[in-house]
Each structure stands twice: as C-alpha cells, then as structure tokens.
Amino acid sequence: MKLTIVEYPDKRLRLKSKNVTNFDAKLHKLLDAMNPIMINTNGIGLAAIQVNHAVKALVLNIPDEEGEQPPENLLEIINPIVTKRAGETVYQEGCLSVPKFYEDIKRFETLTLNYQDRNGNTKTLEADGLLSIAIQHEMDHLEGILFIDKLSYGRRKKFEKEYKRMLKEKKSS
Ligand code: Y12
Ligand code: CO
C-alpha cells in the first residue's frame, strides 16, 4: 500500500476519525504501511488520518536510550480511550504533517489508556514521559486537532506567517 503524508493546511487533517470495526487484512495492510513511512521520515508517532485514512488507528515507536526504534518497540493503538490523566508537562513537539515546526506544548504528564490491538484484543497502557506526550498528540489527530491549534494567538500568527513563507519558497524552487 503506497501512502503519502498529508500536510497542513490540507483540510483532510481536520476530519474526525471513525472507530475501527473490522480488524481485518485491510486494517493490517494499513498498519503495515504506516510503520515504515513513520520510521523513514524520522517520526515517532503517526495517526492514520495523516496518511488519508480517517480511522482511529495510530502507530508509535519511541526511540530507546541509543536513539534506536527497533520493530519490537512498535506500538499499534486502535480505538484509544483515555481513562485517567494527571500532572502537567511541557515538551517541544513536532509533527510529520507540519514539517519544520517545533513548539512547546502543554500536556498531561501521565495517562492510562484503553485500546485495541490489530486483532481487536482489548489492552490497557499506563504511559508517562515522551510516550504519554506522543499518545496525546496522536489522539488529537483523531479529533482533527493539530498541535499548532494549542498555540497562543501571537505564536499562531507567527507560525502562519512563517509557514506561508516556507510554502511560497517551496513552490518557487
Ligand atoms: C513530541 C515529539 C513528537 C510527537 C508526535 C509525533 N511527531 C513526529 O513524529 C514528528 C516527526 C518529525 C520528523 C521530521 O523529520 C523528517 O520529516 C525527515 C521533521 O522534520 C522536518 O520537519 C524537516 C519534523 C517532525 C509528539 C511529541
Ligand atoms: Co502530528
């Protein structure tokens, strides 16, 4: 399956993703294609809507202490629901759909998540650190929310200006 990353300001990023109901070969093909595109673009997390599939599916692979992302660390999360959240943390986030921009975003520090795996089995996950932040970032994508939506008015204006300039430069080169 050939996938390409949908980039801001594409309106498809604003769609609300639907629950996955069929845990079939089609879902497996999508997940199998999402993983390499995430790794090959230096990503740590990717939601299906970022590759034009509006379903509640995301993949994550948080780098280990050596900065490696071995396949065994891959997390596939389907139909996630947060059941507990606590604390507060700020981290400089980036997004494969908003290339070249990184901004400090406030998130919950820890969370507990119920989700399903690719075969529909129910799982529970307790997350903290970068995993917790990345899950919150990716779950926002399922609701059509981008990290830039969380910026202050002033920072958002600055972002829009810089992004427009970048797109113009890209077009003319
Ligand atoms: C903290 C950090 C990340 C998240 C959510 C997941 N975001 C990403 O995985 C972002 C990856 C990213 C990768 C880039 O590298 C390439 O595209 C090759 C990148 O680079 C450029 O923009 C040039 C930007 C972002 C949550 C919390
Ligand atoms: Co993102």
Mutate to test the pocket of ligand 1, among 95, 140, 150 (most ligand atoms within 8 A of CB): 95
Among 45, 43, 58, smallest CA distance to 118 is for: 58
- Residue closest via CA to ligand 1's atom 4 equals 134
What does the pLDDT look like over 119-128, one tens digit per residue?
999 999 999 9
Where b means 16+ CB within 10 Å and e means fewer, 47-84 reads: bbbbbebebbbbbbbbeeeeeebeeeebbbbbbbeeee
Instruction: Copy the structure tokens of residue 51.
Output: 């590759």
pLDDT, position 61 = 98
Per-residue pLDDT for 19 more than 90?
yes
In sequence order, the β-bridge partners of residue 132 are: none
H/E stretch holding 99: none
How many A from CA of 73 to the centre of ligand 1? Answer: 18
Among 18, 69, 56, smallest CA distance to 135 is for: 56
Average pLDDT of the chain to the nearest whole number: 97
**HSE of 89, CA atoms in CB hemisphere, 13 A:** 19
Q: Which atom of ligand 1 is nearest to the CA of 92?
A: 1
Per-residue pLDDT for 170 more than 90?
no
How many A from CA of 86 to the centre of ligand 1? Answer: 25
Nearest ligand, measured from the Cα of 63: 1
Per-residue pLDDT for 44 more than 90?
yes
Specify burial of residue 107 (Cβ count, 10 A radius: 0-12, 13-18, 19+): buried
Please give all residues whose beta carbon lies within 6 A of any atom in ligand 1, as ranges: 41-45, 91, 93-96, 99-100, 133-134, 137
Q: Are 135 and 60 in contact (CB under 8 A)?
A: yes
pTM of the model: 0.97
What does the pLDDT look like over 57-111, one tens digit per residue?
999 999 999 999 999 999 999 999 999 999 999 999 999 999 999 999 999 999 9
Residues with a catalytic annotation lie at 138
pLDDT, position 171 = 83
Among 14, 18, 24, 6, smallest CA distance to 55 is for: 18
